[in-house]
C-alpha cells in the first residue's frame, strides 16, 4: 500500500513539473532513423491523475491506423512496442489513450496525444543481372532472356519496381524497353526475368559511335526510393563467335499446323519442331507428352545461323489409344531457352483408325533430273473431299525440307522455293498424302527419289 501511494505521489510531482501539453503522455522512439526492415522501438510513458483502467494506442504513420499498445492499471504507466517499416519515407508516429469512458475519466482533457518523426531509408540491396556478357551476332536482331536477382538483409516483403530498361553505349542512350518489371522479395530474396529484344539498329548505333559493347540495365525503386541498378554487357561479334541460342521454336504435325485430330489407335503420329538458332553448340532437348518426359534429343549444331527440324520418334510414336485432347512440347535443356516454348495439341476421336488408301505417283519418273522452274509433280487422284500434302525429303525417311498443300492432283514448285530450300540438296525424295477435312491421313504414296541438278529457270 505504501509503495502504491509513493508511486502515485511521484507521478503527480512529475506531472506538475512538466508543461501542461507534456504532462499527459510522452512517446520515445529508438532509433529515429532506420533502414527498411529494421526494428523500431516505441516507448510510451503515460501518467494519470487517478488510478486508472485505460488502454494506450499507437499509429505508426504507415497506413495501418491505430493499434493497441497495452493497458494501464496504475497512475504511472510505461508500455513498449516494436514495429518494422517496409517502405522508405518520413513517418509520423502518434500515441494516445484509447477513446473509452474509463480513459476519459482518468486522463486530462483534451485526450492526450504525442507524436514523433521516424525516418526510414532504403534497405541495403544487392542487384545482379545475368547472363553477362551476352555475345550477339552483329547486324542481327536477337532475343535474350535476362534474369534479375535481388538480395537484402531486410526480411520484410518488398516489391522492387522498374519502369523501363535502357540501352547505352559510349555514354549515350541508344534506346529503351518501355515495359515495367517487378521483383517480388520475400525472406531477403527475389527474382524476375524478361525477354529482351536486342534490335539490329541498336548494334548499328553502337558501331557508329565506335563502341565495342553495349550496356542494358534497369533501375529499381522501392516506393519512391531508388535501391540500385542491375545491368548486362552486350558484345556484338561475328555469327560464329556469337553465343549459341535458340531464337524461335515452331511445332507442327504433318498437316503443317500445331493441332490435329486423329482416330483412336492411329499409328505413326509424330510432331515436328522447327528451331531457329544462332551460333554453334550442343542442343539437348526432351519431348514431353501431357507433361510426361519422352525421348531425349541431342544434336550438335555447327551453322552460324540456321534452322533445324526435329521429329518425335516414329518408333514409340505419340500415343493415340486414349480419346480426348493431348499436349506435346519440346523442353529445351541446353542452351537455356530465352523464349517461350509453344505447345502442340492433338485430339483423339472415338472412331477407330482405318489404314490409308494407296496413292500412285505418275510424274516425274523415279530418279528423274529436276531443276528450278521445271518441277511439276503429278499423281492419281483419290475420290472424296480433302487436300493433298506434298513433301520433299532428304532421304527415304529423312528430314523434311519443304512441304506444300494443294487440292489438285498435281503441284508445280515455284522456282524461288526451289532455290531457297532444295537447290543445295545432294539427294531428294518426294511423296504425297491425302488429308480429310479434319487433317487425318486417308491416302499415302510411296517415297520416290529424284535427282536435283543446278540450273536457271
Point out the least confidently predicted range of 59-68, 159-168, 402-411, 412-421: 412-421
Q: Which residue has the higher pLDDT, 304 or 197?
A: 197
Predicted confidence band of residue 21 (pLDDT cuts 50, 70, 90) = very low
Q: What is the mean pLDDT of residues 302-319?
A: 83
Which one is predicted more confidently, 22 or 124? 124
For the ranges 255-264, 301-310, 383-392, the lowest mean pLDDT is seen at: 301-310
Domains in the chain (CATH in brackets) are 2-121 (2.60.40.10), 126-239 (2.60.40.10), 245-352 (2.60.40.10), 357-452 (2.60.40.10)
Residue 23 has pLDDT above 70, yes or no: no
Question: Mean pLDDT, to the nearest integer, of 285-294?
Answer: 94
- Higher-confidence residue: 421 or 177? 177
pLDDT for position 452: 85
**Among residues of the chain, what percentage have pLDDT more than 90?**
56
Residue 59 has pLDDT above 90, yes or no: yes
Mean pLDDT over 214-243 rounds to 90
Say whether pLDDT at 3 is over 90: no
Predicted pLDDT of residue 19: 38
pLDDT at 148 over 60: yes
pLDDT value at 11 more than 70: no
Please report the pLDDT score of residue 415 as a whole number: 86
Predicted confidence at residue 381, as pLDDT, reads 94
Secondary structure string (H, E, C) spanning the chain = CHHHHHHHHHHHHHHHHCCHHHCCCEEEEECCEEECCCEEEEEEEEECCCCCCEEEEEECCCCCCEEEEEEECCCEEEEEEEEECCCCEEEEEEEEECCCHHHHHHCCCCCCEEEEEEEEECCCCEEEEECCCEEEECCCCEEEEEEEEEECCCCCCEEEEECCEEEEECCEEEEEECCCEEEEEECCEEEEEEEEEECHHHHHHHHHCCCCCEEEEEEEEECCEEEEEEEEEEEEECHHHCCCEEEEEEEECCCCCCEEEEEECCCCCCCEEEEEEECCEEEEEEEEECCEEEEEEEEEECCCEEEEEEECCCCCCCCCCCCEEEEEEEEEEECCCCCCCCCEEEEEEEEECCCCEECCEEECCCCCEECCCCCEEEECCCCCCCEEEEEEECCCCCCEEEEEEECCCEEECCHHHHHHHHCCCCCEEEEEEEECCCCCEEEECCCEEEEECCCCC
Give 330 or 351, the one with higher predicted confidence.
330
- The pLDDT-based confidence of 409 (bands split at 50, 70, 90) is very high
Checking if the pLDDT of 318 tops 70, the result is yes
Amino acid at each position: 500500500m505504501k509503495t502504491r501511494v509513493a508511486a502515485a505521489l511521484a507521478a503527480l510531482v512529475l506531472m506538475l513539473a512538466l508543461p501542461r501539453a507534456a504532462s499527459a503522455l510522452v512517446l520515445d522512439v529508438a532509433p529515429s532513423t532506420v533502414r527498411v526492415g529494421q526494428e523500431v522501438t516505441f516507448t510510451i510513458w503515460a501518467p494519470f491523475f487517478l488510478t486508472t483502467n485505460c488502454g494506450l494506442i499507437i499509429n505508426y504513420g504507415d497506413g495501418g491506423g491505430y493499434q493497441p499498445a497495452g493497458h494501464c492499471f496504475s497512475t504511472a504507466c510505461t508500455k513498449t512496442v516494436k514495429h518494422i517499416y517496409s517502405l522508405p519515407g518520413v513517418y509520423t508516429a502518434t500515441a494516445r489513450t484509447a477513446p473509452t469512458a474509463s480513459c476519459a475519466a482518468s486522463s486530462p482533457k483534451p485526450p492526450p496525444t504525442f507524436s514523433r518523426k521516424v525516418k526510414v531509408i532504403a534497405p541495403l540491396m544487392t542487384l545482379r543481372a545475368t547472363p553477362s556478357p551476352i555475345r550477339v551476332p552483329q547486324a542481327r536482331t536477337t532475343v535474350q532472356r535476362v534474369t534479375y536477382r535481388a538480395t537484402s538483409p531486410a526480411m520484410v516483403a518488398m516489391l522492387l519496381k522498374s519502369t523501363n530498361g535502357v540501352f547505352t553505349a559510349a555514354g549515350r542512350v541508344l534506346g529503351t524497353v518501355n515495359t515495367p518489371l517487378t521483383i517480388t522479395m520475400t525472406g531477403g530474396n527475389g527474382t524476375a526475368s524478361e525477354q529482351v529484344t536486342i534490335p539490329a539498329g541498336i548494334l548499328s548505333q553502337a558501331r557508329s559511335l565506335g563502341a565495342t559493347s553495349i550496356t542494358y540495365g534497369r533501375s529499381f525503386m522501392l516506393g519512391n526510393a531508388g535501391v540500385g541498378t542491375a545491368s548486362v554487357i552486350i558484345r556484338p561479334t561475328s555469327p560464329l563467335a556469337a553465343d549459341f541460342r535458340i531464337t524461335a521454336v515452331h511445332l507442327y504435325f504433318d498437316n503443317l499446323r500445331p493441332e490435329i485430330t486423329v482416330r483412336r489407335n492411329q499409328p505413326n503420329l509424330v510432331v515436328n519442331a522447327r528451331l531457329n538458332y544462332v551460333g554453334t553448340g550442343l542442343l539437348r532437348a526432351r519431348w514431353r507428352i501431357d507433361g510426361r518426359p519422352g525421348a531425349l534429343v541431342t544434336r550438335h549444331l555447327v551453322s552460324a545461323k540456321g534452322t533445324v527440324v526435329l521429329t518425335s520418334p516414329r518408333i514409340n510414336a505419340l500415343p493415340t489409344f486414349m480419346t480426348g485432347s493431348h499436349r506435346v512440347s519440346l523442353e529445351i535443356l541446353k542452351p537455356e531457352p530465352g523464349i517461350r516454348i509453344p505447345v502442340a495439341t492433338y485430339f483423339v476421336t472415338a472412331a477407330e483408325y482405318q489404314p490409308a488408301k494407296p496413292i500412285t505417283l505418275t510424274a516425274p519418273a523415279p530418279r528423274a533430273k529436276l531443276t528450278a522452274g521445271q518441277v511439276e509433280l503429278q499423281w492419281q487422284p483419290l475420290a472424296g473431299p480433302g487436300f493433298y500434302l506434298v513433301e520433299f525429303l532428304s532421304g527415304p525417311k529423312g528430314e523434311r525440307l519443304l512441304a506444300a498443300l494443294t487440292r489438285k492432283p498435281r503441284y508445280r514448285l515455284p522456282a524461288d522455293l526451289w532455290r531457297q530450300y532444295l537447290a543445295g540438296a545432294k539427294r531428294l525424295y518426294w511423296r504425297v498424302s491425302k488429308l480429310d477435312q479434319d487433317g487425318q491421313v486417308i491416302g499415302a504414296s510411296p517415297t520416290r527419289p529424284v535427282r536435283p541438278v543446278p540450273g536457271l529457270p
